[in-house]
A and B are shown apart, each in its own frame.
Chain A
Amino acid sequence: MISCRHRKLVDYECMKTEPTCFDEMLLGNDLVRDPYGQYFDWFKMADVKRLRRKSEDAEAFFRKIGITFNVYGQDEADERLIPFDIVPRIIAAKEWRQLERGIEQRVRAINAFLRDIYHRQEIIRAGRIPKKLIAGNAAFTPEMIGVTPPAGVYTHIAGVDLVRTGENDFYVLEDNVRTPSGVSYMLENRETMLHMFPELFTKMKVRSVSSYPDLLRRSLADCAPDRTRTDMPTVAVLTPGIHNSAYFEHAFLADQMGAELVESHDLRVQDGYVAMRTTRGYQRLDVIYRRVDDEYLDPLTFNPNSMLGVPGIMDVYRAGNVTIANAPGTGIADDKALYSYMPDIIEFYTGEKAILKNVPTWRCSEADSLSYVLENLKDLVVKEVHGSGGYGMLVGPAASKKELSAFEAKLRATPDNYIAQPTLALSTVPILSKSGLAPRHVDLRPFVLMAPNRVEITAGGLTRVALKKGSLVVNSSQGGGTKDTWVLED
């Protein structure tokens, strides 16, 4: 239990609007939780008008450097900013240690699961997960059967989405082990905060996030094939191109790592390796941090109609001559159909109980669950098994009658496509609103790097915040914003 200091607060909305949810700054009516103590003292003395001006400066700065994302389905030229809120989300050292242990355990288990599922599938033989979870699952990639990636690493980069509902209650919402994005926001948000509020960083001991690009480069390089060949493996970031919604991040990471930013047509197979076309000729690549989906990776092996992709790259990979990060086929591990089995998966491969909790989940493919879900639709969150980005999702309590009945029809038609979860009372964190500090719901995506024999978790991550009052959807495509995440030193 974290001790609290007594504070008199008058203008924080939480007390009035959502008395039931856990607020990370305020405990009860007027107690400031420890991690926020110093920040709160500072904020009380700050000039809100000046803060608001700084907030506008931050936006202009983001636009100038071009941290924008393209919204799908809209004008190609329409580049939007993800709104940034200048109030940090603060996590105590002790809290973080607990999260760190849980995340590392989870990511190790996922890597072991992937190794197993593409080899002997002991976990199925042992009856710990049903076969039908894998059989018939489009995320299972037969081409990966029997393939062991260089250094045995499948999930070089993972983003584990966490939510909080109470002092000690953290839940994993989903594991992102395909090509998790958002790390550039973690880094740029911190950079911006350092520029805007240097005094806060001298007062408070916040753990740094700036080593992430170096750590990324090092862990990728450590996973290079044939590591006796060179001390300096060539690393490249593979992007679908400037029209991709996360292009900024691809360029940013390549830049920060000192790696080439390549597109598929820069690459070809040469002398048994993947090589990039430079101004001096073709040059061998050792590690490809790809930000393209499996389906568009290799038209020779996967989607032959894809104009994207590097023909033959999978063959080079299967011959052990290049590292692809993350490994193809990792999607089977973060598939929503598998999510509810994660506690079993963790126990099977680590021999330990899962440290981080899973959100209770109803699998609509099961008849009993389906009827429960249909009866309680207005209280549940329903997600597509293969969806992402908050698309195709129903938030029961926020949905209209019409939306509910439309979704009910979808559920009845293809129940296998859906899972349902209770509406969690996501914790709130203050944002700077027009009327001062106001509580908004948040989640957290810490970024995890896996190298041979080590897992590194950057202290912090991307806090996404639902800017609309009362909203539980934090996705940027649905009106969410971001915040800097501070993990305090002991």
Chain B
Amino acid sequence: MLGRTAGGLFWMFRYLERAENTARLLEAGHHMALTRSESAESEWESIVRTAGMNMGYDAKYDSYTAKQVIDYLLRDKDNASSVMSSIDLARSNGRQVRTALSSEVWEATNECWMDLKKTLSQPIEESALHDTLILIRNRAAIVRGALHGTMLRNDIFSFARLGTFIERADNTARILDVKYYVLLPSAAFVGTTMDNAQWEVILRSVSAERSYRWLNAGAASPVGVADFLILDERMPRSLAFCTRKVGHFLQHLENDYELRQTSQIKAAVLLARIEEMTIEDIFNDGLHEYLGEFIEGITELARHIEQDFRFYG
């Protein structure tokens, strides 16, 4: 396989994941704004910050209204990480590697793009947001389904999955890091007025509020949320789960190519770091520091994958 093709697959699935993640964040923000209408503006602001898009946003707007935030996150061309931009990039990477994709995966990607291009050609009203987000999720799910149902489990599949899990791990870590202070034990002491809403939004932005509640009926706590999103291997967006998957697909490549490279070693180190610590250890060492290290680690790992498999020469 061409190195460029491997890179194209990796990025195609990173961008698809990114589009989905942005849609999830919007969903969470929308929910918060509806249920806590008195502080809607600051809820929207926190969504933009969590998405890591505040620099670009602030350069363009000086207030946080639902209309502006929705537009910026969903369809703004100036925003390289808006849902539409991400889908655009996913598709053009897909076009570039289409000889590596099954026709079903390509067609699902192309249809996803055509559908969203049409839907997002006009600003989305708040009343239509929910349906639009469902459309995004459904379209992305069809691509994922086609990938699982029609692709050979070879190196092509591995590069696609590596893109997905690297992006997802990075996304979950960043969401946690933006809001880490609401999860600190000290925050619980600060005042009883602090409701669950703050950390609930974290769960919602990774679509995990229901599964968390189901697993921890009646015993929800900030530390529990952190444990769930960092260390719980049952949770498909947790750092532990994603890192293990990254390691898994790198192992596939190692077996396939009969070669152990830097990326495989780095992934093993990253995973060991997760496995050796309990959530208490993490809090004792500093949650923010831990997350910062993780983000750095996953970024470095992505760079090594890129080099080891010659994405760019």
Name A's B-contacting residues (CB within 8 A): 63-66, 241-242, 247, 251, 254-255, 260-263, 265-266, 276-281
Q: Is the CB of B103 within 8 A of A260?
A: no
What 18 additional pairs, Cβ within 8 angstroms, besides A260-B2, A278-B3, A279-B1? A65-B107, A66-B95, A66-B107, A242-B95, A242-B96, A251-B95, A251-B98, A251-B99, A255-B98, A255-B99, A262-B2, A263-B4, A276-B2, A277-B313, A279-B6, A279-B155, A279-B309, A279-B310
CB-based nearest B residue for A77:
B88
0/1 per residue, B98-128, Cβ < 8 Å to A? Answer: 1100010011001100100000000000000
Interface residues of B (CB under 8 A from A): 1-4, 6, 92, 95-96, 98-99, 103, 106-107, 110-111, 114, 155, 257, 259, 309-310, 313
Shortest distance from the beta carbon of A57 to any chain B beta carbon, whole Å? 15
Q: Which residue of B lies closest to A259 (CB)?
A: B99
Give the residue name and chain of the B residue nearest to A254 (CB). Answer: B99
Whether A277 touches B95, Cβ cut-off 8 Å, given contacts A65-B103, A65-B107, A66-B106, is no
Whole-angstrom distance from the CB of B95 to the nearest CB of chain A? 5
**In whole Å, how far is A259's beta carbon from the nearest beta carbon of chain B?**
8
Cα distance, A277 to B7, chains bound together (Å): 12
Which residues of B sit under 8 angstroms from A261, Cβ to Cβ? 2, 99
Instruction: List 5 tightest A-B contacts by C-beta distance, closest first.
Output: A279-B309, A255-B99, A277-B3, A242-B95, A279-B6
Partner pick for A280 among B96, B111, B257, CB 8 A cutoff: B257
A266 to chain B, nearest CB (A): 5
Chain A contact residues: helix, strand, loop or mixed: mixed
Separation of A281 and B155 alpha carbons in the complex (Å): 15
Q: Which residues of B contact A277 (CB under 8 A)?
A: 2-4, 310, 313
Residue of B nearest to A277 (CB): B3
Contacts of A265 in B (CB 8 A): 4, 313
Q: A277-B4, A278-B1, A278-B310 are in contact. Are A242 and B107 (CB under 8 A)?
A: no
Q: Say which residue of B96, B106, B110, B310 sits within 8 Å of A281 (CB atoms).
A: B310
User: Given A278-B1, A279-B2: A65 and B110 within 8 A (CB)?
Assistant: yes
Residues of A within 8 A of B4 (CB): 262-263, 265-266, 277
Q: What are the residues of chain A within 8 A of B309 when measuring CB–CB? A: 279
- Shortest Cβ distance from A310 into chain B, in angstroms? 12
Q: Which residues of B contact A266 (CB under 8 A)?
A: 2-4, 313
Q: Which residue of B lies closest to A281 (CB)?
A: B310
Minimum C-beta distance from A194 to chain B (A):
16
Task: Report the separation of the CA atoms of residues A297 and B235 in the bound assembly, to the nearest whole angstrom.
Answer: 51
Known: A64-B107, A65-B107, A66-B106. A279 touches B98 (CB 8 A): no
Tell me the complex Cα distance, A71–B83, Å: 26
A63: chain B residues within 8 A (beta carbon): 114
In the complex the two chains form, what is the Cα distance from A481 to B123 in whole Å? 35
Mind listing 9 A-B residue pairs with CB under 8 Å?
Answer: A64-B114, A241-B96, A263-B4, A277-B4, A277-B310, A278-B310, A279-B6, A279-B310, A280-B257
